[in-house]
Structure 1
Amino acid sequence: MDKNFILPEEKTLVNLSSDIFGHFGLRTESEGIGLNYKNKKLCFILLDGLGWNIYRQTGIEFKNEIKGTSVFPSTTSNALSSFFLNKFPGQHGIIGYQLYIKQLGSIVNILGYTSSAAYMRDSMEKAYPMSSIFNFESKVTSLNRAGYSTVNIIPGFINKTSFSNILYGDNTTDTYANMVHSFYVLEENLKQGRDFISYYAADVDQIAHKLGPNNPYTIENARYILQQLSMIMKKYPEYDYVITADHGHVEVGNTINLGNDSGLRDISILPPYGDSRALFLENRKDIKDYLEEHYTNLELVEKGSQNYYQLLGKVDANTLSNLPGVIGIAKNNDIYHFPLNQRKYTMKGAHSGLLREEMEIPVLVV
């Protein structure tokens, strides 16, 4: 594979998940990363999009910081599933922003569990419940069964959605309306003294997509959030805190519109799906030959190859059928867009590939 790729080999989100849930005595899928905890109670904070590159530019430093890595593809659905289910991507199969799900016969936006062409949140749920396809127990549920008290703090607009229910199970959530409100909700839950608190915020990711990861406003937004969290954490020393991210961002180079490529369209049964920097395609010789000839900045990895299993970790037979036949990974900062609707791709920050900026994440222990 390309020499510039950062592979998910150690200190990944799966290892961090094993470390944190192993702290409570749960059985875990992998080795941890060797964090030292002072307290039994733990608050896990995930700041979507806060890659190591953005974190470093804030100028804020924590005494105990580790450079970790995301999973591949480095995208939110895959990263959060890997952490909260404590499974490798090849085990849970929720590896892309868009997935072709054979049970539904459709390319699905997995965060919204809806058609990628016409977004209506959770529109697939009545036809085929998401939990019947991805039938895994959340580690939050495992904690509750073991007698620990938990709460998951999330934005109100994703509460009790199909995807959130996969992550958090049927367990207590507390919601917030905006970033400032989230700090209040976090502090109120710290006062209640639950054993495990998870806190998720998407603001860094949203700004980085819009403005790019190196824009001063992106950095200032991340700095402000870390400063506010630091002030809150100091008030409640009875907790250990672990702050991390699901992925980072690269500055977008060229936007390559695959919808304009009639040659690729004519030989494909399914359009390219997945993510803009990790394309999912059919495993057919004519498609691979076409991509190798016309898209030399894509690294092609075939299902069944050693590289495929190295990238996705353990692969379960039950998930294998829904995994893509070929994954095309961007070697540079370009993004590959196949429009399944009329929306234009105008983002300046992107992720899901294997470059350093999108794979490296901070693991900050307080």
Structure 2
Amino acid sequence: MPAHALAEITEDHAAAPLPDYQGGGIVNLMASIAGAFGGDPGLYPLLDALDGARLSAHRNIVLFVIDGLGYEWLKRAGPGSTLFRHTVGPITSVFPSTTASAITTFLTGVAPRQHGMTGWHVYIEALGTVVAVLPFRARTGAPRASTPRWHAPAIFDQTPLPNRIPARSTVFVPKRIAGSAYNEAHRGAGVVRPYRSLPGAVAGLCEALCRGGGRHYAYLYYPDLDKSAHECGIDSPQARRRLAEVDAAYRSLLDGLRGTGTAVIATGDHGFIDIRPEHRIELGEHPALAELMRLPLCGDGRVAYCYVRPGRRRAFERYVGAHLDRQAQLCVSADLIDQGYFGIGPPHPRLAERVGDYTLLMKDRYVIKDWLPGEGRFVHVGVHGGLTREELYVPLAVASV
């Protein structure tokens, strides 16, 4: 790495086909941030792309996480943006490349192998139900069926990153989600600053860091690009307007924090691909397959965990091989754990039960979805969770001000 560079991407990591947990992924970024403050980086190596000594020399570190910002799309949609000009290259998300798994990595500093958040829908055996973990809602088919908040500490059981950092920590999240069970469980020692608008969040962040008073870690989360990409597609005008908003916010951070000795890091939790109607597979169109399963599909549409009835595994394998081989790769879920898809090191004690018997890794741009009676139906144009470059790679933008 050049002596003057705070960050640099090597070709080895840029070519990684799977999540890189050994020095080229978002979990390694979090290890570097913790280590830069003199905290415990944990079991994951530091991010190779960051100069640890130079990062440690900063008084403050800002991590700006843009939900849905993929490297390939940023390169295509915003080549002249401030964000892209400060992007040193791609790093990888986690597996699956989805919000519940990746954001939990940002908030805890460990991969899904440790934190156990394996997708949007997670089967919690102790509760006997499937839970949408971010809104903390049981998947029963009833509209807005909530899960009692007192269950949260038993489910979200990893140490929040602010508890590992010997510095002040402030968490900026939208007001509408700031008080959720998920965010309450993961704030730890951090002070939560709810915001109503992204410019307001940037102003509050700059004010907090310019006030001084010792070293400071600030985490800023922006979810609206993800929302627009799901509803309209990542290549839609709506998504590009969100990118313009994000880029303006990043410029404002650099301008507002100039002279404070702050490293301003921006990245995404995952990228996106757009799909067409023919890429959507409805489980209801395969009743013989649904009959073989004892639970609804878990995980996400791109990575679906299947819980098969006792004694029906061979029948399940035969059906998928005969009817879905072109659209999905059938994997034994335990093999994905053993092969390191979810991370390295000791696994969460409930990891195996949260990924089912089999995993459907959807090929190309296919997704699979089921619906419970009473569930409101929707269509996503943009999707994520898989292992394409568009979904897996996120930008690493770094500036020193």
TM-score, length-scaled by structure 2: 0.84
Inter-CA distance 112–203: structure 2 relative to 1 (3 Å threshold): same
**Cα separation, 2, equivalents of 1:306 and 1:53:** 26
SS of the residue aligned with 2:123?
Answer: strand
Task: Specify the alignment match of 2:31 in structure 1.
Answer: 18
Greater shift in the superposed pair: 66-75 or 292-301: 292-301
User: Contact between 1:45 and 1:198, CA under 8 Å: does it hold in 2?
Assistant: yes
Task: Specify the alignment match of 1:225 in structure 2.
Answer: 246
Alignment RMSD (CA, Å): 2.1
Q: 1:191 aligns with which of 203, 210, 218?
A: 210
**Cα separation, 2, equivalents of 1:170 and 1:93:** 21
Task: Specify the alignment match of 1:264 in structure 2.
Answer: 289
Q: 1:287 aligns with which of 313, 316, 321?
A: 316
Inter-CA distance 185–156: structure 2 relative to 1 (3 Å threshold): same
SS of the residue aligned with 2:127?
Answer: coil
**Cα separation, 2, equivalents of 1:272 and 1:319:** 18
SS of the residue aligned with 1:189?
Answer: helix
Structure 2 unaligned blocks of 5 or more:
1-14
Task: Specify the alignment match of 1:338 in structure 2.
Answer: 370
**Cα separation, 1, equivalents of 2:170 and 2:290:** 46
Matched, 1:241 2:264: yes
User: Contact between 1:54 and 1:222, CA under 8 Å: does it hold in 2?
Assistant: no
**Cα separation, 2, equivalents of 1:349 and 1:171:** 32
After TM superposition, give the deviation of residue 321 of structure 1 in Å: 4.2
User: Contact between 1:109 and 1:115, CA under 8 Å: does it hold in 2?
Assistant: yes
User: Contact between 1:93 and 1:322, CA under 8 Å: does it hold in 2?
Assistant: no
Greater shift in the superposed pair: 242-251 or 50-59: 50-59
**Cα separation, 2, equivalents of 1:351 and 1:313:** 19
After TM superposition, give the deviation of residue 6 of structure 1 in Å: 3.2
What whole-Å deviation, never above 9, does each CA across 1:109-132 have from its counterpart, x for those lacking one?
111111123353753324xx2211
**Cα separation, 2, equivalents of 1:317 and 1:224:** 38
**Cα separation, 1, equivalents of 2:59 and 2:391:** 32
Write out aligned runs for 1:284-363 (5 A): 284-296=313-325, 297-305=327-335, 308-314=338-344, 315-316=346-347, 318-324=349-355, 325-340=357-372, 341-363=374-396
Structure 1 unaligned blocks of 5 or more:
none
Output the amino acid matched with 1:58.
G
Greater shift in the superposed pair: 131-140 or 177-186: 177-186
**Cα separation, 2, equivalents of 1:298 and 1:316:** 26
Matched, 1:141 2:173: no
**Cα separation, 2, equivalents of 1:166 and 1:285:** 40
The percent identity for this pair of structures is 23
TM-score, length-scaled by structure 1: 0.91
Inter-CA distance 64–108: structure 2 relative to 1 (3 Å threshold): closer
Output the amino acid matched with 1:288.
E
